[in-house]
């Protein structure tokens, strides 16, 4: 679909990183290689960093049901693109905290890859927040101290998890977002999935308005941060099963999540694209204008016209083949799209490193400066909150972003940027 040739090199230290909150199944992964990627030796095993007691393997036949199979989807999407480069799994938190579904998600991960983050004071917060984050030692699981700066981050990190903005405090979110910015400036690209519920939050949740109705669009965190490359999802258009270039629409089963942050304003590099979208596609919904999560829903508005828009880009997230033990399992959504984009950027980093150039890092402004390296997606919408949501359109839109990758164009463009 995206004109990606097979990889041919594996520079040490350029492994693709994947953030996980559950173990993966090596038996199923080996079977996947034998069945669908025969150029990858079946014994190929991801590198693995266990953060705060996280487990590595699962051979439970019901794992795809009990654990939702996120890890297997991420890994089986990434490997065929990056191989012979390897994948590095950052699995986070012990079983007790994994099963508790804590809302912290990323702080223990950030602690482990940047020791200075562990006790840093920012936005009136110092270190992790017990109301959201796991605490260690954990008498019911990992009994060691919280890991601080014990692992090196990879050049690209794909993340397919995210809570809603409304579930955590604004300063908690800001502290994390500033760390994503810091990593980007160090040459590390953070790629996040926007979610699968259109303009609604996880599970279709919407924000309550002044009349007690749940009508306000509900953005997720992580991809609300301007320094994270936010990835939506697409699918092949009817009548184009061959995946021919330029024939994609927004996903119509799992709706590609998109919209506007209630915490962060529109970044400068995105402003003209968002202004053009609303000029060409006037919104049928009332809006409000805010930052810092204040006055959400003012004037009966349902979205923040002045917010950071997402997604930035998109990729296929429909009918994606993965595995459950030795059986085919069909997955999808932005959880498939994000590792696709991350793997492509990892491949581009591979070429840049071979040429003596630095890694891409904070890549988003460069994409807005040259959207022609992406395939524009202009069909379908992102339903949610009892509405049809936003519509895909020419140029950037809050459904599919700037569009889907065109690998040769992206490679040529990014190889032209930055000095040796």
Catalytic residue among 15, 49, 74, 324: 74
**Residue 128 marked ligand-binding:** no
Asked about 335 being catalytic, the answer comes back as yes
CA distances from 349 to 87, 151, 155, 316, 337 (A): 14, 20, 8, 21, 19
Catalytic residue among 335, 350, 380, 382: 335
**Residue 377 marked ligand-binding:** yes
Here the tokens at position 380 are: 């379908």
Integer Cα distance of 103 and 201 in angstroms: 14
Asked about 70 being catalytic, the answer comes back as yes
Integer Cα distance of 225 and 69 in angstroms: 26
CA nearest neighbour of 91 among 157, 176, 156: 157
- 347 — alpha (psi -120 to 50), left (phi > 0) or beta? alpha
**Residue 275 marked ligand-binding:** no
Catalytic residue among 52, 70, 114, 324: 70
**Residue 93 marked ligand-binding:** no
Q: Which residue has the tokens 């970044």?
A: 267
Pairing of strands 207-208, 214-216: antiparallel
Quote the Cα angle for 304-307-310, to 5°. Answer: 105
Buried b (16+ CB within 10 A) or exposed e, 214-251: ebbbbbbbbbbbbbbbbbbbbbbeeeeeeeeeebbbbb
Annotated binding-site residues read 376-377, 395, 397
Annotated binding-site residues for Ca(2+) read 376-377, 395, 397
Catalytic site residues?
70, 74, 335
């Amino acid at each position: 679909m995206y004109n990606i040739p097979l990889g041919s090199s594996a520079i040490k230290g350029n492994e693709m990183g994947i953030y996980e909150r559950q173990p993966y199944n090596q038996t199923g992964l080996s079977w996947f290689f034998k069945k669908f990627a025969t150029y990858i030796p079946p014994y190929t095993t991801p590198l693995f960093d266990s953060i705060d007691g996280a487990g590595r393997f699962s051979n439970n036949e019901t794992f795809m049901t009990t654990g939702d199979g996120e890890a297997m989807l991420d890994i089986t999407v990434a490997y065929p693109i990056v191989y012979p480069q390897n994948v590095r799994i950052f699995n986070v938190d012990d079983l007790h905290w994994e099963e508790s579904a804590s809302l912290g998600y990323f702080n223990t991960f950030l602690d482990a890859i940047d020791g200075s983050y562990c006790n840093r004071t920012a936005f009136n917060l110092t270190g992790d927040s017990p109301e959201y984050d796991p605490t260690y030692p954990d008498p019911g699981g990992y009994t060691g101290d919280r890991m601080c700066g014990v692992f090196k981050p990879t050049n690209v990190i794909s993340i397919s998890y995210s809570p809603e903005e409304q579930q955590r405090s604004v300063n908690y979110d800001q502290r994390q977002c500033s760390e994503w910015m810091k990593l980007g400036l160090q040459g590390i690209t953070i790629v996040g999935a926007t979610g699968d519920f259109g303009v609604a939050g996880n599970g279709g949740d919407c924000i309550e308005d002044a009349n007690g109705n749940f009508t306000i669009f509900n953005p997720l965190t992580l991809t609300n941060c301007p320094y994270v490359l936010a990835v939506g999802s697409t699918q092949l258009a009817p009548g184009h099963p061959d995946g021919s270039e330029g024939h994609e629409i927004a996903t119509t089963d799992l709706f590609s999540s998109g919209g506007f942050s209630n915490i962060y304003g529109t970044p400068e590099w995105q402003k003209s694209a968002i202004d053009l979208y609303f000029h060409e596609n006037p919104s049928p919904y009332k809006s409000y204008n805010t930052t810092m999560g204040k006055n959400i829903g003012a004037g009966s508005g349902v979205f923040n016209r002045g917010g950071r828009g997402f997604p930035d880009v998109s990729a296929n997230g429909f009918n994606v083949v993965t595995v459950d033990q030795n059986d085919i399992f069909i997955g999808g959504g932005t959880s498939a799209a994000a590792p696709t984009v991350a793997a492509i950027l990892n491949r581009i980093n591979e070429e840049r490193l071979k040429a003596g150039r630095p890694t891409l890092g904070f890549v988003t402004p460069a994409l807005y400066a040259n959207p022609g390296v992406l395939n524009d997606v202009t069909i379908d919408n992102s339903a949610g909150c009892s509405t049809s949501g936003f519509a895909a359109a020419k140029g950037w839109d809050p459904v599919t972003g700037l569009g889907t990758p065109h690998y040769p164009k992206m490679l040529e463009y990014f190889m032209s940027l930055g000095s040796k």
